[in-house]
Structure 1
């Protein structure tokens, strides 16, 4: 297999990272490009009582199993399949199920903290930061957590003010300086996405 192109897509919660990543993916044939979501690599909290899990700071780098994520990316680069974890966002634990991921020419890794650790950051051939207005990101976060993750408005509000916003300012926003490309407005910015796709086509 030819060299795997690793792409990191970072940005704040609700910035449109997943939309950008999926817009890139849909251009390529099945099996040519794959997506890895950082959130699936949260550390397993099975040994922690549920009430305590709710207090965990999921926006801090310490909440991510970077060691496993890096191990999986290196394996995929070597042409090996991996067993990607699946995270249960309602119970805050790693599911017993796994998702088998096969090597591809393009691997996209998206998440708020994918540029926060140097060892992971250095693996990427292209680093993209999705930069979206704070108010828009907050509204998207509220909608996602209530509709998809079974949260209440009060719990989303408490988490946003307590950890999400402070951690963004401390660990996410500063990583913008590592980006090769900054995309304002996220998935709405079709011009930027098309330029990235054109570049990838040339590389392939």
Structure 2
């Protein structure tokens, strides 16, 4: 993967374990890097490891899933067997709680707020993520958007190097938020998100236009402003335009590549040092206030 077009636009500053990335003409930046987690013993018959856990938050239809798909595609993981994947992705939607009968009736009429924190089983999400960090194999259920319920189907998540968790409120619950080694926020404008949500809910989830718009105005938009948007401040990386921000995704992929194949970059002391390979295979070194260029 050639990084020359990217590195020519990037200024990297590392100080006291803090990584800042500034890109001309692109609003992509990071605030910190996490330390390398510890290894564990073998369990479930698989090599046990503590994965690099990445949270991907953002409003409804902001492109969170697409960003995760692009990352996996660029790393060649999308079409691998589950047992062979080194990068896996989980949706927070798999952790919606079971609705009470009265809530189910409201949901059928489009009058239940699925964007409210109370709609999720945060304890189950926390427990599952802790098992993943312990290197255990876990079963993650699938959510049925048509029936508004957890289906009887599930998929197995095997120990991996990197685990992506995407959802509108993955940064809302403090205990869950603290588990992430990196936090991404996909920042897409509200008009674009609404334009994506309407056809998606009509074609994929069997809802009519009036129901979709009413639900958006009464629940989705207010919940985004009250619960999701404030969590943007916790993000280490903000990705404007979502999956259309190719520079941001390439940089994230490069960082994940280092985690998978070169181990995590080590930052020693306050005068940090970052090394990357340029397109010609030369080692490029950068210290505080250095500028990387071709």
Bigger share in helix: 1
Q: TM-score, normalised by structure 2?
A: 0.67
CA contact (8 A) 1:17 1:111 kept: yes
Q: How far, CA to CA, are the matches of 1:49 and 1:70 in structure 2?
A: 24
After TM superposition, the runs of 4+ consecutive aligned structure 1 residues lying more than 6 A away are: none
Q: How does 1:80-91 map to 2 (within 5 A)?
A: 80-91=136-147
Pair 133,49 (structure 1): closer, same or farther in 2 beyond 3 Å: closer
Query: What is aligned with 1:3?
Result: 50
Give the drift of 1:116. 0.6
Query: What is aligned with 1:132?
Result: 188
Secondary structure of the 1:94 match is strand
Secondary structure of the 1:26 match is helix
Secondary structure of the 2:232 match is helix
RMSD of the alignment, in Å? 1.4
CA contact (8 A) 2:113 2:119 kept: yes
Secondary structure of the 2:74 match is coil
Q: How does 1:132-151 map to 2 (within 5 A)?
A: 132-151=188-207
Q: How far, CA to CA, are the matches of 1:96 and 1:3 in structure 2?
A: 28
- Structure 1 gaps, min length 5: none
Secondary structure of the 1:103 match is coil
Pair 146,121 (structure 1): closer, same or farther in 2 beyond 3 Å: same
Give the drift of 1:99. 1.7
Query: What is aligned with 1:32?
Result: 86
CA contact (8 A) 1:10 1:17 kept: yes
- How many residue pairs get aligned? The number is 204
- Structure 2 gaps, min length 5: 1-47, 261-294
Query: What is aligned with 2:148?
Result: 92
Note if 1:51 corresponds to 2:121. no
Secondary structure of the 1:59 match is coil
Q: How far, CA to CA, are the matches of 1:36 and 1:70 in structure 2?
A: 13
Q: How far, CA to CA, are the matches of 1:128 and 1:72 in structure 2?
A: 20
Comparing 184-193 with 26-35, greater Cα deviation is found at 26-35
Query: What is aligned with 1:108?
Result: 164
CA contact (8 A) 1:46 1:93 kept: no
Give the drift of 1:46. 5.9
